[in-house]
Structure 1
Amino acid sequence: MPALASALRDPSPLGIVRTRRADCITLRGTTLLLDELVDPAFFTPEARQRLRAQLAGAAPFPHLVVDGLFNPDLLTLVLEEFDTHEDGGWYDVQSSYERTRRSVLGATLGPATQLYFDLVNAGWFTTWLSDVTGTPYLIPDPLRHGGGLHESRTGGSFAVHRDFDRHPKTGLKNEMVFITYLNRGWQPEWGSALELWDAKDGQCVTTVQPEFGRTLLMPHGPRSFHGHPTPLQAPDDRPRRSVATYFYTGTPMPEQDLDRSISIFIQPRRIDAAKAMLRQWVPPILWRLAKKVTGR
């Protein structure tokens, strides 16, 4: 990913050691090659086509589960940073539907975790998500509403539910959630696997074990009911951990308002000023026809 390498070469205030010649990052003694942070095999045209078909054909609703998308050394560093995440950077959720905790909105993250979110929010990565899901111009959320670090302890659970439709601050439409699990040696008998339900039949159809390096892409829709309702019972109070983020789309601008998406110059050319004045009086349908005929 050449664009990734060039984007991560500048000096960092987070204590990341970066070298221009080797195109790598060293974090806590672990050196990560920038072009190996993700597996490029997932990004070929053939892979995109295969993943599209896999997502569309999944039951009980479209979703995608892949293993090995991210460099395991990067994910190991991310996992380590759960234990050093600042105490004030968490909020606990305790209700009749959910027992878990998440990082707070806009929390300061460790350098490896921030690098993970920089990757998934990058333009080339969101373009890949758009190709796979068929959803154009995805918008990431740098403050990670509903996402960030997720952790459940013994007894933790999340009742079957469907995610929110709109971002509460921006009003953007929720299109999908992207989750990477960080649990080594996970055993199904510990419970807390993610269940994908058929709401019409009221039963679980697909189970996703939250194993280390497994990534789930789940488009949001009227049928996308999911949760991990079986309480966690892992040995030694072992937590269930993951990192997650949501992607959004905005409301397309009406064609008659497209002029509002261009820059306004304080001293326009006379011809442009005349066109702008004329635009206010000509009906939209006639204006579009004129532009189509003149090509301007």
Structure 2
Amino acid sequence: MNRSDDDFISIRGARLPLRALLDPRIRDAGFVASLRRRLERAAPFPHLILHGLFHPLLLEQVSTEFERVPADGWRAYRNRHERTFRASPLALPGPASRLYFGLVNSAEFIRFLCRVTGSDALVVDPDLFGGGLHESRNGGHFGIHRDFDRHPQTGLRNRMVLLTYLNKDWNGDWGGELELWDSEQRACVTRVAPEFGVSLLMLHGPTSYHGHPAPLRMPAETARRSLASYFYAAPENSAAAGETTTEFLQPMLRHAFTWGTIRLLRRWTPPAIWDAARRLRRSWNR
């Protein structure tokens, strides 16, 4: 991955415009406000279906990197609830996938998510627990489920997940639509086709049930591919837990007074008090 000039980054010969890797509308207050209104009205639980959030050239490069994951780099999940594959999130296969996850974990993107969802603060996970590169192959499925509540290592509360799909020329006859179910777990309310360039933001909650439960019916050489990133809530009342400004240990007496002022204070201060103050200052400086 090399910077070709100030405006582009080059990956395997593809020139990706730096300023357009993310949809520039995420900086527009009106666009953000419209997304927030959509989020509030979404059913069966808060979610957003977004088109063109990431530059298509970047997503094309990420898609090719799925082929660079070695066979032993995929972890297979095969049980009665799911038949899926996930690549090790700590071994991203190339520069494009690293660039994508760098973008979604960037300060600019987190500010965008906070403004859209009304979150005060979000915490990213550089280890991509539960995230990274996801793939379902012919016959694959993922039962209707609700995501985990807490990160197993940090204990932070799961706030939301962002999925981005990488499937060009997706055939609806193959199945694979992500189904968002009602709170009673009885029926699908919304379906999201896993088409190239579609991103889905889902807020986590007690009723955020989703999945693609029907086995995929597609050619053996085809795969349903997506990228997943989770975002977490900062600890509650973290601002009240301690100071939010820097506290210096070394006293600043010598900068607060001129030497003339110090000489005057020494003249009128009893020697015993002055000596005690000097010993105290020495103990601070150790």
- Scaled to the shorter chain, the TM-score interval is 0.7 to 0.9
Match of 2:3 among 14, 18, 22: 18
Q: Is the 8 A contact 1:151 1:239 kept in 2?
A: yes
Paired residues for 1:99-178 under 5 Å: 99-178=83-162
Specify whether residues 233 and 256 from structure 1 end up closer, same or farther in structure 2 by C-alpha distance, changes over 3 A only.
closer
SS, match of residue 245 in structure 1 = strand
Specify whether residues 153 and 41 from structure 1 end up closer, same or farther in structure 2 by C-alpha distance, changes over 3 A only.
same
The answer to whether 1:267 aligns with 2:255 is no
Shift of 1:68: 1.2
Match of 1:71 among 55, 64, 69: 55
Aligned residues: 253
Specify whether residues 149 and 263 from structure 1 end up closer, same or farther in structure 2 by C-alpha distance, changes over 3 A only.
same
Q: Is the 8 A contact 1:106 1:144 kept in 2?
A: yes
Aligned-partner residue type, residue 74 of structure 1: L
1:232 aligns to what?
216
Name whichever of 171-180 and 89-98 sits farther off. Answer: 89-98
Q: Is the 8 A contact 2:135 2:223 kept in 1?
A: yes
SS, match of residue 67 in structure 2 = coil
Which structure 2 residue ranges, 5 or more long, are not aligned?
A: 254-286
Q: Is the 8 A contact 1:159 1:227 kept in 2?
A: yes
Deviation string, structure 1 residues 106-164 (Cα, Å, up to 9, x no partner): 22331001100111100010000010111121111111000000000011001000000
1:131 & 1:169 partners in 2: Cα distance? 27
1:91 & 1:35 partners in 2: Cα distance? 35
2:262 aligns to what?
none
Aligned-partner residue type, residue 53 of structure 1: R
Q: Is the 8 A contact 2:66 2:93 kept in 1?
A: no
Shift of 1:255: 6.3
- What TM-score, normalized by structure 2, do the two folds share? 0.84
Deviation string, structure 1 residues 219-265 (Cα, Å, up to 9, x no partner): 00111000000111112441000011000012134666323x54453
The answer to whether 1:62 aligns with 2:22 is no
Q: Is the 8 A contact 1:89 1:108 kept in 2?
A: no
1:179 aligns to what?
163
Match of 1:98 among 71, 77, 82: 82
1:262 & 1:39 partners in 2: Cα distance? 35
Q: Is the 8 A contact 1:190 1:234 kept in 2?
A: yes
Specify whether residues 173 and 110 from structure 1 end up closer, same or farther in structure 2 by C-alpha distance, changes over 3 A only.
same
Larger Cα-atom Rg: 2
1:217 & 1:150 partners in 2: Cα distance? 16
1:105 & 1:215 partners in 2: Cα distance? 19
- What TM-score, normalized by structure 1, do the two folds share? 0.81
SS, match of residue 169 in structure 1 = coil
Aligned-partner residue type, residue 265 of structure 1: F
Specify whether residues 218 and 26 from structure 1 end up closer, same or farther in structure 2 by C-alpha distance, changes over 3 A only.
same
The answer to whether 1:34 aligns with 2:18 is yes
Aligned-partner residue type, residue 134 of structure 2: H
Specify whether residues 80 and 172 from structure 1 end up closer, same or farther in structure 2 by C-alpha distance, changes over 3 A only.
same
2:9 & 2:137 partners in 1: Cα distance? 32
Percentage of pairs with the same residue: 48
Q: Is the 8 A contact 1:107 1:143 kept in 2?
A: no
1:8 aligns to what?
none
Specify whether residues 255 and 184 from structure 1 end up closer, same or farther in structure 2 by C-alpha distance, changes over 3 A only.
closer
Aligned-partner residue type, residue 98 of structure 1: E
Aligned-partner residue type, residue 75 of structure 2: Y
